[in-house]
């Protein structure tokens, strides 16, 4: 399992997790409670439930995979 912290304008907004080829993205509770919290993408609106691989656009998954490979 690998995880990446996701920031929006320098503020931690959530965590992206890759586990056996499946991806999830979850907004952090602290971020969701901020009055000025904004979605990191129009396709990833603010919500408490995690986004699963099926909900993440293929283009995002490809970029995420490439960037996570660089971190290794």
- Measured between alpha carbons, how far is residue 45 from residues 3, 40, 50, 68 in Å? 20, 8, 11, 23
- Pairwise CA distance, residues 14 & 25, whole Å: 7
pTM (predicted TM-score): 0.78
Q: What does 1-70 look like in DSSP terms, one character per residue?
A: -EEEEEEETTEEEEEEEEETTEEEEEE-HHHHT-TT---SBTTB-S-SSPEEGGGS-HHHHHHHHHHHHH
pLDDT in tens, 7-58: 888 999 999 898 888 889 999 999 999 999 999 888 889 999 999 987 777 6
């Amino acid at each position: 399992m690998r995880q990446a912290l996701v920031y929006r304008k320098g503020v931690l907004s959530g965590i992206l997790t890759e586990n056996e080829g499946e991806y999830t993205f979850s907004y952090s509770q602290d971020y969701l409670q901020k009055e000025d919290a904004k979605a990191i993408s129009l396709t990833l609106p603010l919500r408490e439930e995690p986004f699963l691989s099926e909900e993440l656009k293929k283009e995002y998954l490809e970029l995420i995979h490439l960037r996570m490979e660089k971190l290794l």
